[in-house]
Structure formats: structure tokens, C-alpha cells
Amino acid sequence: MTKFNGFIKTTRVRYENATWDLFRIAVAAMFITHGYGKLLGENPQSFSGSGMTSINIGKFISIPMPFDINALFLAGSVELVGGLLILIGLWTNVVALIAAFTMLMAYLIAHLAWFPTLNNGELAAMYFFSFLILYCKDPGIISIDSWLKSRKDTSA
């Protein structure tokens, strides 16, 4: 059992950075597809005037969007542009925080009920927690943020 534990520890340490980068890239790539569908798919969302022009949380909270802005257009923009930025690793922590907030709002607006599996909110919840983790951690070695940091450290 000790050889097995040693093997597990060695491979975990060896592939930790690559696995972290793969996680960030995979989450971002999947997130981009949702934004693409909202903004460029068969039924693209307009910036204002139609779509979700008020935010309703449950039956008691209703907040109209200023200037009749379509909330689905905003969500699609975060998903597409934010997903691209996280994919390349640029401003990863800030964009991940914005994406986490967007997914929290998506859950509260579209999936507010007792259990995520029953209300189809598990994807929004998983994205929320994934982006929360991406916010709290370093973006990884395969990222523009990491490259910029190494250039800054070298010049200092």
C-alpha cells in the first residue's frame, strides 16, 4: 500500500499544474458555448427592448432592467467574452468573480427551488462553484496572467 500511496502522491504533484490548467480551460470552453448560443445562435438575444427586461427572483422580487436592457444579452456577453478571457487566462480572477456572480443570479432567477437536480439548476450551481474556485486560486502556468507575472518579476 505504501508504494501505491507514493505513486499517487508523485503523480498528483507531477500533474497538478497541468490538471489545474486543464480544469480552467475546460470550464471556460464549455461556458463559451452558452454565450455563443445566446448571442449568435438560432435565436440571438438583442441588447434591449425584448427578452428578459426585468429580473424576477421568486414571486416577490421584481427589478426592471434600466433602459429595457435584456438580462439574457448581458449573461450571454459574460459567458462569451468572460469565457474567452478565462480560457486564455487573462484577468482570470476578476472575470471568474463576475462569472460566479452571473451564475448565482442565473440560479436565483431561473432555478430557485429546493433541490438543484429537480429544478435543472445543477449546471448553474456547478459553474458558480467552479468560478468561485477559479477566483480564489492562481490562474495556472498556461495563462497570460502567469506570463505577465513572470515578466514583471523578471524586470523587477
Instruction: Say what the pTM is.
Output: 0.88
The C-alpha cell of 68 is what?
429595457
Per-residue pLDDT at 129:
98
For residues 109 and 79, give the distance between their C-alpha atoms in angstroms, rounded to a whole number: 16
The C-alpha cell of 89 is what?
487566462
Q: Is the pLDDT of residue 105 over 90?
A: yes
Q: What angle do CA 17, 23, 26 make, to 5 degrees?
A: 135
* pLDDT band, very low/low/confident/very high, at 156 (cuts 50, 70, 90): low
Per the prediction, the chain carries an average pLDDT of 92
* Amino acid identity at 90: L
The C-alpha cell of 110 is what?
431561473
pLDDT tens profile 69-99: 999 999 999 999 999 999 999 999 999 999 9
* pLDDT band, very low/low/confident/very high, at 56 (cuts 50, 70, 90): confident
Residue whose C-alpha cell is 439548476:
121
The C-alpha cell of 47 is what?
441588447
Q: Is the pLDDT of residue 57 over 70?
A: yes
Which segment, 13-17, 25-29, 48-52, 136-140, is predicted with the most confidence on average? 25-29
Which residues fall within 8 angstroms of residue 57, CB to CB, at 6 or more apart? 63, 108, 109, 112
